[in-house]
Amino acid sequence: MSDPADAGAVGTPRRLSPLGILLHSLTSAPQLIVPALAGLWSMKGNAIGTSLFLLFLAAVSVGIAVVRWSAFRYTVERDEIRIEQGILHRQTRAIPFDRIVDVGIEQQALARIAGLAEVTFDSGGGAGEEAKLRYVPLAEAHDLRQLVRGRGSVAASSEAAPEGPDLLFAMGPRRIVTMGFYSFSLVVFAIALAVARRLDFLLPDAWFDPDTWWTSVKHGGESLGSLGLWVEVLAGLAALAALAALGVLSGVIRAVTAWWDFRLERTIKGLRVRFGLLTRRDVTVPPGRVLAAALQTGPIRSRRGWQALQLVSLGGNGEAGAHITAAPFARADEIAAIMDELNLVPPERDLPFGRASAAVARDRFLLGAGLLGGLAVAGWWISPLISLALVFMAAGHGLRTWLHWRRRGRAVSAGQIVTRAGWRRRQILFARKDAVQLVTLTSGPVQRRHAVATLVFGLPSVTAAFEDIPVAEAEAIRDAVLRRIVPVDYAHLAALLAAPREKRAEA
Amino acid sequence: MHPQRGQAITARVDAIADLLPLDPAYRSLLLARGAIKGGLLVLLATIGSAFLPLPWWLPIGLALVPAVWLVLVAPIRAYRRAAYACADAQLRVVGGVLFRHDTIVPFGRVQHIDIDQGPVMQMFGLAALTVHTAGEHGASVTLPGLAPARAEELRQTIRAHIRQAEG
């Protein structure tokens, strides 16, 4: 099957790895639970009947997998890959190499043990157009990727890339565990707390109940003398700490499973990312496909200078999807180095960010607050408590409006549109002007009062919006971007994006 | 050309700034839609007034104000605001009454083009042109209220431009 002499042969139909039959049977085993339980119930404890029935089920499931496997063939032709499948309904799908935008390789936990991989061909169109090979030996998966990359359109855009793999960024165990600490999950903490409440028989007597504490304090004079109260307080604190530790632990476990041994390399074909403990992902982004980069951080991690870098790449709704993490948890200088590699201007410390109109933010707040205030007055007749809640809501609304307005920013550089937004989930988006697909200017009644509008740039899989910007400035920016992109046809976009920065600066 | 049409949100000096009106039949379609919406609103208010512990005329009276706006004011304004331009290798679509939009798509970024004719549109002898670009969200723009022949003409123009750019 995977005879090395045969691997490169053109036009010979090939089969998937027979080991895949076993994997299929094992992974589809959970689907058999319901019929198995139904069968077991009807057998009512007949030992021979039960084992025969289970054997029969297993045989049927393996049988189906074998027939499927034998009906599945794929052929690598000179300029396309053909996949034939189906038992009753035969289907033949041909994918020309030059339509394939990317080849994804993924190894689930079981497949890794067996040395097999799942290969996906992404044709960049709709989600339904891709094709999958489950499973082929890992070496063959890489051969297939090389083959497609070598012949298809992907190769054309990679001429600018330097040679040889080169490690750009990696995360060691220590970094990943640190990341886990910052991923402390309030949700997990809350759930743990709720569960603990249900299981409070495991905890000291009703220590969640404020009454207990109150009585303890009231009768402090009596119980202070005894050690009882302090033991209870200490036990309560210990339990709370244990729950917090659970929240931290869940963050660490998530970070370790998701990002274990994260590596970002420069290869001949572009940037290659590999990561994951149980499911190892392996994605390569050719340089001409990176349209935008997003720098993400949070209010706490940003204090220690931790950021994540996400890339948005052209085409593909498949595995090698539009959003790729190039660095999950990194320092500013590490990120600057990666962005430089991608021809994106690295973030400067003090990028001259323009502010969104403060007058519009104020009017929006007043509008919302006025509405809530009116409701609060009306609600007074029902219950003053409702009014109080509404006033709190108005205050929260004001705080949110202010925090978001302060974070919101926009900047335009030679080749990029830059937006900054979000308070809890902070993001700075660097989008390439060349990749803009359409431009929209919108305005609502409040905005028109202050002669501002929202300018939205639509890129594949991402939008960049300049909110509440003076109309004249918006027009000037829009016209400058349009003058740049109108002469370039989409078909030449990848080549343009792949070109080194110096070359593009001339144009 | 209608001199007032340039004021959508912006004014530009290029050919693409010369906005063209939509087919007059589109105004009739908007008026018909407005009448249906206003009628529904009054109907709902009438039903509501039967169940609410209020004087019967209050809900209906409250509904009449937005209903009149929906029937008479909004369709006329929507038609006057709606405009398009197809020049300088770009398609521009302008519209909206309270919330206005002004979108420009360069022909070079068009992936495919649809012409739609729903049953109501057919009654009014209209068609809608939709231009799709790469990507998912908000990546397409629709130009409603064109005469079918004009929609076809626009599609030919855009397709010819794409073919020429690729060849």
**Strongest mean pLDDT among A37-51, A105-119, A468-482:** A468-482
Task: Chain A: give the shortest CA distance to residue B36, in Å.
Answer: 25
Query: How confident is the model over B124-152, as a mean pLDDT?
Result: 85
> Is residue B18 in a domain?
no
* CATH number of B146's domain: 2.30.29.30
Looking at the fold, whether B130 and B58 belong to one and the same domain comes out as no
Structure confidence at residue B14 as a pLDDT band (50, 70, 90): low
A83: left (phi over 0), alpha (psi -120 to 50) or beta: beta
Percentage, residues of chain A above pLDDT 70? 79
Strands (E), A298-425: 307-313, 323-330, 409-412, 416-421
Sign of CA dihedral A153, A158, A159, A163: negative
A441-472 confidence digits (pLDDT tens): 999 999 999 999 999 999 888 889 999 999 99
Structure confidence at residue A211 as a pLDDT band (50, 70, 90): low
Query: How confident is the model over B89-112, as a mean pLDDT?
Result: 91
Looking at the fold, whether B108 and B56 belong to one and the same domain comes out as no
Verify whether the Cβ–Cβ distance B98 to A489 is below 8 Å. Answer: no
Verify whether the Cβ–Cβ distance A458 to B138 is below 8 Å. Answer: yes
> Is residue B149 in a domain?
yes
Query: How confident is the model over A67-86, as a mean pLDDT?
Result: 83
> Is residue B12 in a domain?
no
> Is residue B65 in a domain?
yes
- Looking at B79, B104, B127, the residue that finishes a domain is B79
Mutate to test the interface with B, among A289, A437, A483 (most CBs of B within 10 A): A437
Q: Which residue is it, tokens 């609103």?
A: B41
Mutate to test the interface with A, among B136, B140, B143, B158 (most CBs of A within 10 A): B136
**Cα-based distances in Å from A30 to A102, A113, A456, B77:** 32, 20, 47, 60
What was the ipTM of the complex prediction?
A: 0.86
Looking at the fold, whether B73 and B88 belong to one and the same domain comes out as no
Structure confidence at residue A127 as a pLDDT band (50, 70, 90): very low
Structure confidence at residue A500 as a pLDDT band (50, 70, 90): low
Q: Are the C-beta atoms of residues A322 and B137 closer than 8 Å to each other?
A: no
Looking at the fold, whether B49 and B89 belong to one and the same domain comes out as no
Q: Please state, rounded to an integer, the average pLDDT across all residues of chain B.
A: 85
In terms of residue numbers, what domain contains B97?
Answer: 84-166
Task: Chain A: give the shortest CA distance to residue B123, in Å.
Answer: 31
Looking at the fold, whether B65 and B103 belong to one and the same domain comes out as no
- Looking at B14, B48, B79, the residue that finishes a domain is B79
Q: Please tell me the pTM assigned to this model.
A: 0.69
> Is residue B13 in a domain?
no
Of B12, B105, B166, the CB nearest to A489: B166
pLDDT, residue A413, reads 83
pLDDT, residue A213, reads 54
pLDDT, residue A6, reads 41
- CA dist A74 and B121 (Å) reads 47
Structure confidence at residue B116 as a pLDDT band (50, 70, 90): confident
Residue A458, SS3 per DSSP? strand
SS3 content of chain B, % helix, strand, coil (to 5): 55, 25, 25
Looking at the fold, whether B156 and B100 belong to one and the same domain comes out as yes
A351-388 confidence digits (pLDDT tens): 688 899 999 999 999 999 999 999 988 888 888 888 89
Q: Regarding predicted confidence, which is higher, A288 or A383?
A: A383
Sign of CA dihedral A193, A198, A202, A208: positive
pLDDT, residue B8, reads 46
> Is residue B148 in a domain?
yes
B24-55 confidence digits (pLDDT tens): 999 999 999 999 999 999 999 988 888 888 78
Q: Regarding predicted confidence, which is higher, A382 or B79?
A: B79
Overall domain count for chain B: 2
> Is residue B138 in a domain?
yes
Q: Which two tokens stand for residue B136?
A: 């998912």
> Is residue B139 in a domain?
yes
Looking at the fold, whether B28 and B97 belong to one and the same domain comes out as no
A147-177 confidence digits (pLDDT tens): 877 665 443 333 344 445 688 899 999 999 9
Chain B CB within 8 Å of residue A495 CB: no
Verify whether the Cβ–Cβ distance A440 to B98 is below 8 Å. Answer: no
Verify whether the Cβ–Cβ distance B108 to A461 is below 8 Å. Answer: no
Looking at the fold, whether B90 and B159 belong to one and the same domain comes out as yes
Looking at the fold, whether B115 and B138 belong to one and the same domain comes out as yes
pLDDT, residue A4, reads 39
Looking at the fold, whether B38 and B88 belong to one and the same domain comes out as no
**Cα-based distances in Å from B1 to B81, B128, B157:** 14, 22, 21
Helices (H), A208-322: 210-218, 220-223, 228-259
Looking at the fold, whether B60 and B120 belong to one and the same domain comes out as no
Task: Chain B: give the shortest CA distance to residue A176, in Å.
Answer: 33
Looking at the fold, whether B35 and B107 belong to one and the same domain comes out as no
Predicted confidence (pLDDT) at residue A199 exceeds the cutoff of 70: no
